[in-house]
Each structure stands twice: as C-alpha cells, then as structure tokens.
Amino acid sequence: MPGASENTLFGMGNPLLDISAVVDKDFLDKFGLKPNDQILAEDKHKPLFEEIIKRNNVEYHAGGSTQNSVKIAQWMIQEPHKVATFFGCIGTDRFGEILKTKAAEAHVDAYYYEQNQEPTGTCAACITGENRSLVANLAAANCYKKEKHLDLDGNWELVKKAKVYYIAGFFLTVSPESILKVAKHASDNNKIFCLNLSAPFISQFFKEPLMKVMPYVDILFGNETEAATFAKELGFETDDIAEIAKKTQNLPKENDKRQRVVVFTQGKDDTVATVGEKVTMFPVLDIDQNDIVDTNGAGDAFVGGFLSALVQDQVLEECIRAGHYAANVIIQRVGCTFPERPEYH
C-alpha cells in the first residue's frame, strides 16, 4: 500500500495543553465543578490552573480536538515522522513551550502562531476516582489570525503540500475565514477536505459559518448527538441516523468529482457511513465495559485512525476499521494517550 509522506495530512484548530491531576472533592467544590463534566472556564476558574499544577503527579499532554486527531494519525502511521502538519495559536509562555515539546515528541509538524496578548490555551482534567471534570480555557487558541499566519508564503506552501485536510468544527468559533481558505484550496485541487461537527453548540450557534464551509466538505464526521442537533437545525424532520446521513450527503457540494462521505459514530453502537448511494452500518470492536477507563478522547481517536488510513489511500471500510481500532485503544487509557506503538494490521 502507498505509504504516507511528510506533510500529507494538514490539521488546523485550537491547541490546548491538557493538564491532568488527581484532585479531591474539596478541590472540585472550591471551584464549583461537577465530578464528570466538560465546561469552558469562567473567571472564577482562572486560579484553578495555577493550583492544579502544584499537585503531585501532574501530567501534560498536547491536546485540543484537531491536534489530538492528527497526533493519533501519526501514531498509527509511525513512519515517516511529520506526516501531519498542524496550525493553531499559542502564547509566548511556559505552557506554550511545553506544548511545542509535546507536539515534537508526538512527531507532529506543528507551526504555531505565537502571540503575547493571551496565554496558551489549557484544559484542566480534574480526576477523582473514575471521573474527570474538564475545564477548558481557550485563551490564545481564540487568537488565530489568517493574515498573520495562514496567509504567510511559507505556511501556505505547507498547506499546498497536503492531500488530506482535517479541521474540527470547534475552530469555526475562532477563524471561519481560515477554514474557508483551506477548504476552497482542497476543492479547487480535488483534494480531500474533512470537517467534524464537534459539538451540538456548533450546529446551534455557529450554523452560518458551518453551512458556508459545508459545500467544500468531502468527509463529515460527527457523533449521534451532534448528528441529531444538525438535522434539527437544518429541518431534516427525521431522527433516523441513517436518513440524516443520507440527507447530509446530498447537501449542495462544490467539487462534484467526489461524492460526500458522512460518518457518524454512536459510542458502542454501530458506526453509520454513506457508501456510494447506500448507508452502511459498521459494528465497533467488542470491549468489556470494565475495561473502559475514559471515553473522552474516543471521537478524536476515531478520526485519527480514520485519517491514518485515508492518507495511505485506503478504501472507506479500511478507514473505519482503523478508526475503530484507535478509539478502542484510547478508551482503555486516561486522557487521549496511547502506548508506544499500535498493534494494528
């Protein structure tokens, strides 16, 4: 099979430094956190980030949805290194330096836009027993500027080098104009542009930028909740996931040389995907519920596995199989982490 080469996969999104530590109930209560939750940081949470790093056994990982996915794609491919390029915005600070180190350790070719107005974005994972409460502070990630970074000749050359593009819907809240520029480039050059619905709030509150990008989307990812919200926002008048996939596939598309592929994951239930004119169900790998440690990174991991096969020109069924494998590995570990190498054939 054709191997992947350097910079063939391009990702752009919100780079966050994941900071995870075991805390106690008092810590959660102090900051008004639920044991199992995902929230955006408010002012009252700001001191949390300084406090959590003073805990014992703090772990740092390069995070953020898109960066997680390209990191997992690189892990699945192993060699060569730097198959994935990643763009996003960080601060000129200690957390930014850690993020650069972590991205390099994961062999991702990260080109960050560095600015000093806002600190590097972070996501605190406050672990108590089996639960983890996530608090994300986008900060610098929110400051990405197309004209200050994407448009620069050297950076745009890296974009042009890629043949597969992936951006999580979360980035629609930051720089929709950057997404459009990349999506149009992919469409004009018959390359593959992939987008993720990412969260229900994207379809609800960022529907306009989402639908501006949709005509350029060759592969759309999402989970069952995001798919249902998307269908509701577009007035599909169905809650049947296969039908939602079909209707999404048939939305207007610029590049008619590629039929849109829609892939919806459903946790432990079958993954739904449009294959040509029909919708097919793909069962996920069996797993003992007791082996599941943390399902938080499962969606990002699925996409990462999928992309690793896609950049190697694999057929859709193989891409989904690789996605299922990667997700299966990630849910048996805390955070979006993985063993040294995959046992995948």
In one-letter notation, the amino acid at residue 182 is: V
Question: For residue 101, what is the domain's CATH number?
Answer: 3.40.1190.20
Give pLDDT, residue 288: 81
Task: Based on the residue annotation, tell me whether 151 is a catalytic residue of this protein.
Answer: no
**Does residue 33 lie within any of the structural domains?**
no
Name residues of the chain where pLDDT drops below 50: 1
> Quick count: other Cβ atoms within 10 Å of Cβ 171?
27
Torsion angles phi and psi, residue 232, rounded to 5? -65, -45
**Does residue 54 lie within any of the structural domains?**
no
**Does residue 4 lie within any of the structural domains?**
no
Distance, CA of 256 to CA of 240 (rounded, Å): 26
Contact indicator for 263, 221 with CB cutoff of 8 Å: yes
pLDDT, one tens digit per residue, over 196-212 is 999 888 999 999 999 99
Contact indicator for 99, 127 with CB cutoff of 8 Å: no
- Provide the 3-class DSSP secondary structure of residue 79: coil
Contacts of 252 (CB under 8 A, 6+ apart): 214, 215
Distance, CA of 335 to CA of 318 (rounded, Å): 25
**Does residue 148 lie within any of the structural domains?**
yes
**Beta strands 164-168 and 9-12: pairing type?**
parallel
**Does residue 131 lie within any of the structural domains?**
no
**Does residue 127 lie within any of the structural domains?**
no
What is the side-by-side strand order in the sheet with 164-168?
A: 109-115, 84-91, 9-12, 164-168, 192-196, 219-223, 261-266, 269-275, 278-282
Distance, CA of 81 to CA of 70 (rounded, Å): 12
pTM of the entire predicted model: 0.91
The tokens of 262 are what? 């829609």
> Quick count: other Cβ atoms within 10 Å of Cβ 256?
6
Contact indicator for 271, 261 with CB cutoff of 8 Å: no
| CA atoms within 13 A of residue 239's CA, in its CB half-sphere | 2
Provide the domain count of the chain: 1
Give pLDDT, residue 335: 66
| DSSP output for 33-47 | --SSEEEE--GGGHH
> Quick count: other Cβ atoms within 10 Å of Cβ 77?
24
- For residue 233, what are the domain limits? 9-16+63-119+139-331
Catalytic residue among 43, 270, 300, 313: 300
**Does residue 39 lie within any of the structural domains?**
no
**Does residue 206 lie within any of the structural domains?**
yes
In one-letter notation, the amino acid at residue 92 is: T
pLDDT, one tens digit per residue, over 228-245 is 999 999 999 999 999 999
Helix (H) or strand (E) segment spanning residue 222: strand 219-223
Instruction: Give 146-149 contacts, CB < 8 A, sequence gap 24+.
Output: 146/175, 146/177, 146/178, 146/181, 148/113, 148/115, 149/87, 149/89, 149/111, 149/113
